[in-house]
Amino acid sequence: MLRDKNLVPLSHQHQHALALCVRLDRALQAGEVDLIAWQAELQQIFDHEIGFHFAAEEAELFPAAARLPDLQFLTEELISEHAALREYFARASACELDRQALQNLATALSAHIRKEERRLFEGVQRALSKDELAALGARLQAALASASKACLIPSEATRLKPRK
């Protein structure tokens, strides 16, 4: 299903986070992981985008979805996943993640995003009217206003290297 324009800002942020997961996964597979640099980047991305994204979903999208019987359980699941992901980001901020924890974070974040895109967004788009989606979109836009519009550039230590 084509993404409704009112959910596109969240989907764009999902794309940014999925790109982060891919870069992290590739770095881990290549064995080129600067733990300090990656944790600093994770903290920066959380502070400038992901934290605002989670807050907007929790304040606007999840309550709208939780009113739909078919999405109540999924919404509870996603809220629980936000808590677990916040814990990973807090540990990154404190430089407490090892290689395995970085992999777990990338795997959990990627799975969470795919669940939101494939199940939550699709369900919301099917169940809400155009007017309800437009009102939700306006509330999401206001909630996301503080998120950084700048593209965060990976540090030299976290940038993907060409394969030799």
Structure confidence by residue, pLDDT tens digits, 129-142: 999 999 999 999 99
Q: Where are the alpha helices (DSSP H) in 31-162?
A: 35-45, 51-56, 62-66, 72-93, 99-115, 122-127, 130-143
Ordered structural domains, the chain, with CATH: 8-143 (1.20.120.520)
Side-chain half-sphere of 71: how many Cα atoms within 13 Å?
A: 24
Q: Residue 150: which pLDDT band, with cuts at 50, 70 and 90?
A: very low
Distance of CA 142 to the CA centre of its chain: 18
pTM of the model: 0.89
